[in-house]
Structure 1
Protein backbone atom coordinates (compact mmCIF):
# COMPACT_ATOMS: atom_id res chain seq x y z
CA UNK A 1 0.00 0.00 0.00
CA UNK A 2 1.37 3.42 -0.94
CA UNK A 3 1.52 6.47 1.27
CA UNK A 4 -1.63 8.57 1.24
CA UNK A 5 -1.39 11.39 -1.26
CA UNK A 6 -3.63 14.26 -2.19
CA UNK A 7 -5.04 14.14 -5.69
CA UNK A 8 -6.03 17.01 -7.95
CA UNK A 9 -9.20 16.38 -9.95
CA UNK A 10 -10.09 18.56 -12.95
CA UNK A 11 -13.66 18.10 -14.13
CA UNK A 12 -14.07 18.91 -17.85
CA UNK A 13 -11.08 21.27 -18.13
CA UNK A 14 -11.23 23.66 -21.09
CA UNK A 15 -7.86 25.42 -21.28
CA UNK A 16 -4.82 23.30 -22.12
CA UNK A 17 -2.35 25.72 -20.53
CA UNK A 18 -4.07 25.41 -17.14
CA UNK A 19 -4.06 21.62 -17.31
CA UNK A 20 -0.39 21.59 -18.29
CA UNK A 21 0.57 23.96 -15.48
CA UNK A 22 -1.41 21.93 -12.93
CA UNK A 23 0.25 18.77 -14.22
CA UNK A 24 3.64 20.37 -13.62
CA UNK A 25 2.62 21.19 -10.04
CA UNK A 26 1.53 17.56 -9.58
CA UNK A 27 4.95 16.34 -10.71
CA UNK A 28 6.68 18.78 -8.33
CA UNK A 29 4.63 17.49 -5.40
CA UNK A 30 4.39 13.83 -6.43
CA UNK A 31 0.59 14.00 -6.76
CA UNK A 32 -1.84 12.22 -9.03
CA UNK A 33 -3.72 14.33 -11.58
CA UNK A 34 -7.19 13.03 -12.36
CA UNK A 35 -8.95 14.37 -15.45
CA UNK A 36 -12.68 13.93 -16.06
CA UNK A 37 -13.86 14.09 -19.69
CA UNK A 38 -14.89 15.77 -21.88
CA UNK A 39 -11.98 18.14 -22.33
CA UNK A 40 -12.01 21.35 -24.31
CA UNK A 41 -8.74 20.30 -25.98
CA UNK A 42 -6.64 17.27 -26.84
CA UNK A 43 -3.98 16.14 -24.39
CA UNK A 44 -1.68 15.95 -27.42
CA UNK A 45 -1.90 19.71 -27.96
CA UNK A 46 1.34 21.62 -27.86
CA UNK A 47 -0.16 24.03 -25.31
CA UNK A 48 -0.53 21.25 -22.72
CA UNK A 49 3.02 20.09 -23.27
CA UNK A 50 4.36 23.66 -23.34
CA UNK A 51 2.74 24.56 -20.01
CA UNK A 52 3.93 21.31 -18.47
CA UNK A 53 7.28 21.83 -20.22
CA UNK A 54 9.27 18.63 -20.33
CA UNK A 55 7.56 17.43 -17.14
CA UNK A 56 4.26 16.37 -18.77
CA UNK A 57 5.64 12.89 -19.51
CA UNK A 58 6.13 12.43 -15.74
CA UNK A 59 2.57 13.35 -14.72
CA UNK A 60 0.85 10.55 -12.79
CA UNK A 61 -2.30 10.90 -14.89
CA UNK A 62 -5.62 9.06 -14.58
CA UNK A 63 -8.54 9.78 -16.89
CA UNK A 64 -12.26 9.06 -16.53
CA UNK A 65 -15.04 9.36 -19.08
CA UNK A 66 -17.45 10.95 -16.58
CA UNK A 67 -17.88 12.08 -12.98
CA UNK A 68 -19.92 8.94 -12.31
CA UNK A 69 -17.19 6.65 -13.66
CA UNK A 70 -14.70 8.45 -11.38
CA UNK A 71 -16.99 7.85 -8.37
CA UNK A 72 -17.61 4.23 -9.33
CA UNK A 73 -13.93 3.38 -9.72
CA UNK A 74 -12.24 5.54 -7.07
CA UNK A 75 -15.01 5.22 -4.45
CA UNK A 76 -13.87 8.36 -2.60
CA UNK A 77 -15.16 8.82 0.93
CA UNK A 78 -17.34 11.91 1.30
CA UNK A 79 -14.99 13.45 3.86
CA UNK A 80 -12.06 13.12 1.44
CA UNK A 81 -13.74 15.28 -1.24
CA UNK A 82 -13.00 19.02 -1.32
CA UNK A 83 -14.71 21.06 -4.01
CA UNK A 84 -13.49 24.54 -4.96
CA UNK A 85 -15.78 27.20 -6.37
CA UNK A 86 -15.61 30.98 -6.22
CA UNK A 87 -18.87 31.04 -4.21
CA UNK A 88 -18.04 28.24 -1.78
CA UNK A 89 -19.49 28.79 1.69
CA UNK A 90 -16.16 28.19 3.46
CA UNK A 91 -12.61 29.38 2.93
CA UNK A 92 -9.91 27.00 1.76
CA UNK A 93 -8.34 27.64 5.18
CA UNK A 94 -11.27 26.01 7.02
CA UNK A 95 -10.79 22.25 6.58
CA UNK A 96 -8.27 19.88 8.05
CA UNK A 97 -7.32 18.21 4.79
CA UNK A 98 -7.34 14.44 4.64
CA UNK A 99 -3.88 13.30 3.43
CA UNK A 100 -5.49 11.17 0.72
CA UNK A 101 -8.09 13.78 -0.21
CA UNK A 102 -9.37 14.77 -3.63
CA UNK A 103 -9.12 18.48 -4.48
CA UNK A 104 -11.82 18.95 -7.13
CA UNK A 105 -11.95 21.86 -9.58
CA UNK A 106 -14.41 22.54 -12.39
CA UNK A 107 -13.99 23.88 -15.88
CA UNK A 108 -12.82 27.43 -16.36
CA UNK A 109 -16.02 28.91 -17.80
CA UNK A 110 -18.73 27.18 -15.74
CA UNK A 111 -17.13 25.72 -12.62
CA UNK A 112 -18.58 22.53 -11.20
CA UNK A 113 -21.99 21.26 -12.28
CA UNK A 114 -24.94 20.56 -10.00
CA UNK A 115 -24.43 16.86 -10.81
CA UNK A 116 -21.00 17.02 -9.18
CA UNK A 117 -21.93 19.34 -6.30
CA UNK A 118 -25.34 17.83 -5.48
CA UNK A 119 -25.57 17.17 -1.74
CA UNK A 120 -22.02 18.36 -1.15
CA UNK A 121 -22.71 21.99 -0.21
CA UNK A 122 -20.80 21.61 3.08
CA UNK A 123 -17.74 20.40 1.12
CA UNK A 124 -17.45 23.47 -1.15
CA UNK A 125 -14.65 25.95 -0.43
CA UNK A 126 -13.41 29.19 -1.96
CA UNK A 127 -10.14 31.06 -2.22
CA UNK A 128 -10.63 34.48 -0.61
CA UNK A 129 -10.43 37.54 -2.87
CA UNK A 130 -10.31 40.90 -1.14
CA UNK A 131 -11.19 43.13 -4.09
CA UNK A 132 -14.70 42.66 -5.49
CA UNK A 133 -13.60 43.90 -8.92
CA UNK A 134 -11.97 40.51 -9.45
CA UNK A 135 -14.60 37.97 -10.53
CA UNK A 136 -12.37 34.92 -10.58
CA UNK A 137 -8.78 33.73 -10.54
CA UNK A 138 -6.89 31.54 -12.99
CA UNK A 139 -7.58 27.84 -12.41
CA UNK A 140 -3.90 26.86 -12.34
CA UNK A 141 -3.16 29.56 -9.75
CA UNK A 142 -6.10 28.50 -7.57
CA UNK A 143 -5.21 24.80 -7.75
CA UNK A 144 -1.62 25.55 -6.78
CA UNK A 145 -2.66 27.75 -3.83
CA UNK A 146 -5.12 25.12 -2.64
CA UNK A 147 -2.75 22.18 -2.87
CA UNK A 148 -0.02 23.98 -0.96
CA UNK A 149 -2.50 24.94 1.76
CA UNK A 150 -3.76 21.35 1.91
CA UNK A 151 -0.22 19.99 2.13
CA UNK A 152 0.98 22.56 4.67
CA UNK A 153 0.94 20.16 7.62
CA UNK A 154 2.40 17.36 5.53
CA UNK A 155 5.26 19.58 4.33
CA UNK A 156 6.22 20.58 7.82
CA UNK A 157 4.31 23.81 8.13
Structure 2
Protein backbone atom coordinates (compact mmCIF):
# COMPACT_ATOMS: atom_id res chain seq x y z
CA UNK A 1 0.00 0.00 0.00
CA UNK A 2 1.57 3.29 -1.12
CA UNK A 3 0.27 6.74 -0.16
CA UNK A 4 1.83 9.62 -2.10
CA UNK A 5 1.84 12.89 -0.11
CA UNK A 6 -1.12 12.07 2.17
CA UNK A 7 -2.80 15.11 3.72
CA UNK A 8 -5.31 13.85 6.26
CA UNK A 9 -3.94 12.04 9.30
CA UNK A 10 -7.18 10.16 9.98
CA UNK A 11 -7.06 8.50 6.54
CA UNK A 12 -3.44 7.45 6.98
CA UNK A 13 -4.21 6.02 10.42
CA UNK A 14 -7.24 4.10 9.16
CA UNK A 15 -5.27 2.70 6.20
CA UNK A 16 -2.48 1.76 8.59
CA UNK A 17 -4.97 -0.23 10.66
CA UNK A 18 -6.14 -2.09 7.55
CA UNK A 19 -2.51 -2.84 6.69
CA UNK A 20 -1.96 -4.34 10.14
CA UNK A 21 -5.11 -6.47 9.79
CA UNK A 22 -3.85 -7.91 6.51
CA UNK A 23 -0.09 -8.04 7.23
CA UNK A 24 0.68 -5.41 4.60
CA UNK A 25 3.39 -2.79 4.50
CA UNK A 26 2.34 0.86 4.46
CA UNK A 27 4.64 2.98 2.30
CA UNK A 28 4.39 6.75 2.71
CA UNK A 29 5.87 9.21 0.21
CA UNK A 30 6.70 12.67 1.60
CA UNK A 31 5.78 15.43 2.07
CA UNK A 32 2.84 14.82 4.40
CA UNK A 33 0.16 17.28 5.38
CA UNK A 34 0.63 16.30 9.03
CA UNK A 35 3.13 14.83 11.46
CA UNK A 36 3.14 11.09 12.07
CA UNK A 37 3.34 11.97 15.76
CA UNK A 38 -0.10 13.59 15.68
CA UNK A 39 -2.68 12.09 17.97
CA UNK A 40 -5.15 11.94 15.09
CA UNK A 41 -2.98 9.41 13.22
CA UNK A 42 -2.68 7.26 16.30
CA UNK A 43 -6.37 7.67 17.14
CA UNK A 44 -7.50 6.50 13.69
CA UNK A 45 -5.09 3.57 13.88
CA UNK A 46 -6.13 3.07 17.51
CA UNK A 47 -3.63 1.04 19.44
CA UNK A 48 -2.60 -0.75 16.22
CA UNK A 49 -0.43 2.09 14.88
CA UNK A 50 2.60 0.77 16.74
CA UNK A 51 2.26 -2.46 14.73
CA UNK A 52 2.19 -0.81 11.28
CA UNK A 53 5.00 -2.06 9.05
CA UNK A 54 5.89 1.45 7.88
CA UNK A 55 8.38 2.61 5.26
CA UNK A 56 8.92 6.24 4.29
CA UNK A 57 10.50 7.85 1.24
CA UNK A 58 11.38 11.48 0.61
CA UNK A 59 9.75 11.49 -2.83
CA UNK A 60 8.42 9.24 -5.59
CA UNK A 61 11.80 8.92 -7.31
CA UNK A 62 13.51 7.76 -4.11
CA UNK A 63 10.80 5.10 -3.76
CA UNK A 64 11.40 3.94 -7.35
CA UNK A 65 15.17 3.94 -6.89
CA UNK A 66 15.01 1.93 -3.68
CA UNK A 67 12.25 -0.55 -4.53
CA UNK A 68 12.70 -0.91 -8.29
CA UNK A 69 9.11 -2.10 -8.75
CA UNK A 70 8.20 -3.85 -11.97
CA UNK A 71 5.89 -1.73 -14.11
CA UNK A 72 3.26 -4.49 -14.06
CA UNK A 73 3.34 -4.49 -10.24
CA UNK A 74 2.25 -0.84 -10.03
CA UNK A 75 -1.48 -0.16 -9.79
CA UNK A 76 -2.45 3.50 -9.62
CA UNK A 77 -5.87 4.61 -8.38
CA UNK A 78 -7.59 7.79 -9.49
CA UNK A 79 -11.24 8.73 -9.80
CA UNK A 80 -10.75 9.12 -13.58
CA UNK A 81 -8.83 5.91 -14.18
CA UNK A 82 -9.65 4.27 -17.51
CA UNK A 83 -10.26 0.84 -15.98
CA UNK A 84 -12.22 -0.44 -13.02
CA UNK A 85 -10.42 -1.79 -9.96
CA UNK A 86 -12.09 -5.11 -10.86
CA UNK A 87 -10.25 -5.36 -14.22
CA UNK A 88 -6.74 -6.52 -13.27
CA UNK A 89 -5.48 -9.77 -11.90
CA UNK A 90 -3.38 -8.33 -9.08
CA UNK A 91 0.14 -9.65 -8.75
CA UNK A 92 1.32 -10.90 -5.34
CA UNK A 93 4.03 -8.20 -5.42
CA UNK A 94 1.50 -5.44 -6.20
CA UNK A 95 2.01 -1.84 -5.14
CA UNK A 96 -1.40 -0.17 -4.74
CA UNK A 97 -0.67 3.54 -5.19
CA UNK A 98 -2.93 6.37 -4.05
CA UNK A 99 -2.44 10.13 -4.14
CA UNK A 100 -3.35 12.86 -1.70
CA UNK A 101 -6.92 13.60 -0.77
CA UNK A 102 -7.23 17.01 -2.44
CA UNK A 103 -5.40 16.48 -5.73
CA UNK A 104 -4.88 12.75 -6.28
CA UNK A 105 -1.68 11.51 -7.86
CA UNK A 106 0.71 13.97 -9.48
CA UNK A 107 0.91 13.67 -13.28
CA UNK A 108 4.65 12.98 -12.92
CA UNK A 109 3.88 9.77 -11.00
CA UNK A 110 1.41 8.45 -13.58
CA UNK A 111 3.29 9.70 -16.66
CA UNK A 112 3.86 6.83 -19.07
CA UNK A 113 1.72 4.44 -17.04
CA UNK A 114 -1.77 5.66 -17.95
CA UNK A 115 -2.75 2.08 -18.79
CA UNK A 116 -2.07 1.20 -15.12
CA UNK A 117 -4.61 3.68 -13.69
CA UNK A 118 -7.80 2.27 -12.17
CA UNK A 119 -10.92 3.67 -10.53
CA UNK A 120 -13.59 2.55 -8.08
CA UNK A 121 -16.92 2.58 -9.94
CA UNK A 122 -19.63 4.92 -8.66
CA UNK A 123 -23.14 4.80 -10.04
CA UNK A 124 -24.27 8.31 -9.13
CA UNK A 125 -22.31 10.97 -11.03
CA UNK A 126 -23.16 13.58 -8.37
CA UNK A 127 -20.47 11.95 -6.20
CA UNK A 128 -17.07 13.17 -7.40
CA UNK A 129 -14.96 11.03 -5.10
CA UNK A 130 -15.01 8.88 -1.99
CA UNK A 131 -12.97 9.01 1.20
CA UNK A 132 -9.39 7.81 0.61
CA UNK A 133 -9.44 5.32 3.48
CA UNK A 134 -12.67 3.77 2.20
CA UNK A 135 -11.40 3.45 -1.37
CA UNK A 136 -8.05 2.07 -0.24
CA UNK A 137 -9.77 -0.58 1.88
CA UNK A 138 -12.05 -1.61 -1.00
CA UNK A 139 -9.06 -1.88 -3.34
CA UNK A 140 -6.94 -3.82 -0.85
CA UNK A 141 -9.63 -6.42 -0.30
CA UNK A 142 -10.25 -6.78 -4.05
CA UNK A 143 -6.52 -7.17 -4.72
CA UNK A 144 -6.19 -9.76 -1.96
CA UNK A 145 -9.26 -11.85 -2.85
CA UNK A 146 -7.20 -14.88 -3.91
CA UNK A 147 -5.22 -14.87 -0.66
CA UNK A 148 -8.36 -14.32 1.45
CA UNK A 149 -10.31 -17.17 -0.12
CA UNK A 150 -12.62 -14.98 -2.24
Report the secondary structure of 1:44's partner residue: coil
Please provide the CA RMSD for this pair: 0.3
Cα distance in 1, alignment partners of residues 41 and 62 from structure 2: 24
Cα distance in 2, alignment partners of residues 154 and 28 from structure 1: 13
TM-score by length of 2: 1.00
Match of residue 29, structure 2, among 29, 32, 36: 36
Report the secondary structure of 2:50's partner residue: helix
Cα distance in 1, alignment partners of residues 31 and 41 from structure 2: 15
Tell me how far 1:117 sits from its aligned partner.
0.4
Tell me how far 1:156 sits from its aligned partner.
1.1
Match of residue 97, structure 2, among 96, 101, 104: 104
Tell me how far 1:138 sits from its aligned partner.
0.1
Q: Does 1:91 align with 2:84?
A: yes
Tell me how far 1:100 sits from its aligned partner.
1.1
Match of residue 50, structure 1, among 43, 48, 53: 43
* 1:5-154 matched pairs, under 5 angstroms: 8-154=1-147
Cα distance in 1, alignment partners of residues 131 and 9 from structure 2: 12
Superposed CA offset, 1:53-84 (max 9, x none) = 00000000000000000000000000000000
TM-score by length of 1: 0.95
Cα distance in 1, alignment partners of residues 136 and 95 from structure 2: 12
Cα distance in 1, alignment partners of residues 14 and 107 from structure 2: 26
Structure 1: where are the runs of 5+ without partners? 1-7
Runs of 4+ in 1 over 4 A off after TM superposition: none
Structure 2: where are the runs of 5+ without partners? none
